[in-house]
């Protein structure tokens, strides 16, 4: 498998990088995260899509001013070498912890449903070996894996047909039945499921047609928005308000509404196939962390993958560290909030760029 060199991402790569990286485990619990709004949560994915569109435009605009540099380099150019490197270190740490959180949540799902009496050490090691293999091929390898993942997993929506038949459209009324406090709680928790599109600031230099990068990436974002909207819509139809709030990984439980004489648990099929979506998110974030580590402390090309192995080992340590689940969840939640900062960070850099436009040399 060859490593990434030069501009290698075509329009399909850009579309599915944006689309697949966004899903991960976030969509599995999206209805529960929005449960403070009750049945009025249906329109929230569309609102998130509008916010993603505006922030994505800012990211691409900034990248167009530095077409050959990723965010790590832009930080050093606009903020200075030392401040830039300090910010880059925290971005690397955030990508690493965020990746650990993705796999930890998935392992928690497996333990609570399929492997209740087994440890997660072996599954985690298998995950990390697959991750190393994919990331080792570079961003083009990850993009190809994203395309494959989409077509392998998209047909799972067929299993929601029984939930639609058993659901009730009366749940959609009354509209906008929520308070400001409930809206804020849902907005804050729900947007975690949309993280991932911001990684364009790292792989933008590898895009072939940069002038259409916004259009292609936006298409991928809205494919995910549409999938999240349909998922939320079906969940509101099928579940009671109590179930929306208390059923963990409620999307997988939608599959249980289906009935086959030759399959006892359809949700196990969903859990198994979801591994592809988990890997797309993890590989993208780990690749960004690896790129940042190399930018921070450059190594010869032959030793560049050392950072990949180090980051992978750190992820394993974070997942297996001897602390309670509550402590881990707090760590992963902090990483998610830093992800919010990463989304609005280009806006801050744009202001600095406009202020120092004549001084900046691209």
Spell out the domains of the chain, with CATH numbers in brackets: 11-355 (1.20.1740.10)
Do residues 107 and 271 touch, judged by C-beta distance below 8 A?
no
- DSSP for 43-83, please give it: GHHHHHHHHHHHHHHHHHHHHHHSTT--HHHHHHHHH-HHH
Question: Hey, what are 74's tokens?
Answer: 């832009």
Contacts of 351 (CB under 8 A, 6+ apart): none
Distance between alpha carbon 352 and the CA centroid of its chain, in Å?
Answer: 28
Rg (CA), the chain: 20
Residue 33 to residue 332: CA distance in whole angstroms? 15
Handedness of CA 202, 154, 42, 24 (dihedral sign): negative
pLDDT at position 207 is: 92
Residue 127 to residue 163: CA distance in whole angstroms? 31
pLDDT at position 113 is: 67
Give the chain's residues under pLDDT 70: 1-5, 24-26, 112-118, 257-267, 358-362
Summarised one tens digit per residue, pLDDT across range 192-222 is 888 888 899 999 999 998 899 999 999 999 9
Residue 285 to residue 84: CA distance in whole angstroms? 19
pLDDT at position 202 is: 93
Helix (H, G, I), strand (E, B) or coil at 264: coil
The pTM for the full model equals: 0.89
Contacts of 1 (CB under 8 A, 6+ apart): 133, 136, 137, 141
Handedness of CA 227, 228, 231, 232 (dihedral sign): negative
Do residues 24 and 222 touch, judged by C-beta distance below 8 A?
no
Question: Hey, what are 254's tokens?
Answer: 């939608």
Phi, psi torsion values for 34, nearest 5 degrees: -95, 5
CA-based nearest residue to 250, from 25, 5, 61, 95: 25
Handedness of CA 197, 198, 201, 202 (dihedral sign): negative
């Amino acid at each position: 498998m060859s490593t990434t060199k030069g501009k290698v991402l075509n329009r399909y790569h850009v579309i599915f990088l944006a689309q697949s990286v966004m899903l991960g485990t976030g969509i599995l619990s999206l209805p529960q995260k929005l449960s403070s709004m009750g049945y009025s949560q249906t329109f929230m994915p569309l609102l998130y899509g509008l916010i993603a569109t505006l922030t994505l435009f800012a990211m691409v605009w900034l990248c167009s001013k530095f077409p050959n540099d990723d965010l790590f380099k832009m930080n050093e150019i606009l903020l200075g070498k030392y401040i830039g490197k300090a910010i880059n270190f925290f971005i690397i740490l955030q990508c690493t912890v965020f990746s650990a959180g993705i796999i930890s949540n998935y392992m928690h799902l497996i333990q609570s449903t399929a492997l209740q009496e087994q440890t997660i050490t072996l599954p985690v090691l298998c995950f990390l070996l697959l991750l190393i293999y994919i990331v080792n091929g570079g961003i083009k390898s990850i993009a190809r894996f994203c395309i494959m993942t989409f077509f392998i997993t998209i047909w799972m929506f067929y299993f929601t047909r029984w939930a639609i038949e058993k659901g009730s459209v009366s749940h959609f009324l009354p509209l906008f039945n929520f308070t400001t406090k409930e809206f804020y709680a849902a907005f804050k928790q729900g947007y975690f499921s949309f993280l991932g599109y911001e990684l364009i600031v790292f792989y933008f230099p590898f895009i072939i047609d940069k002038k259409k990068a916004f259009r292609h990436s936006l298409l991928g974002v809205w494919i995910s928005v549409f999938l999240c909207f349909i998922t939320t819509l079906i969940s509101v139809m099928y579940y009671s308000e109590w179930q929306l709030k208390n059923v963990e990984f409620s999307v997988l439980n939608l599959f249980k509404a289906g009935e086959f004489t030759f399959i006892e648990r359809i949700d196990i099929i969903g859990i198994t196939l979801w591994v592809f979506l988990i890997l797309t998110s993890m590989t993208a974030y780990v690749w960004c962390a690896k790129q940042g580590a190399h930018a921070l402390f450059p190594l010869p090309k032959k030793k560049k993958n050392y950072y990949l192995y180090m980051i992978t080992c750190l992820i394993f340590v974070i997942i297996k560290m001897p602390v309670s689940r509550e402590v881990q969840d707090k760590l992963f939640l902090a990483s998610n909030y830093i992800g919010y900062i990463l989304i609005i960070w280009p806006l801050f850099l744009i202001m600095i760029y406009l202020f120092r436009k004549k001084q900046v040399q691209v």
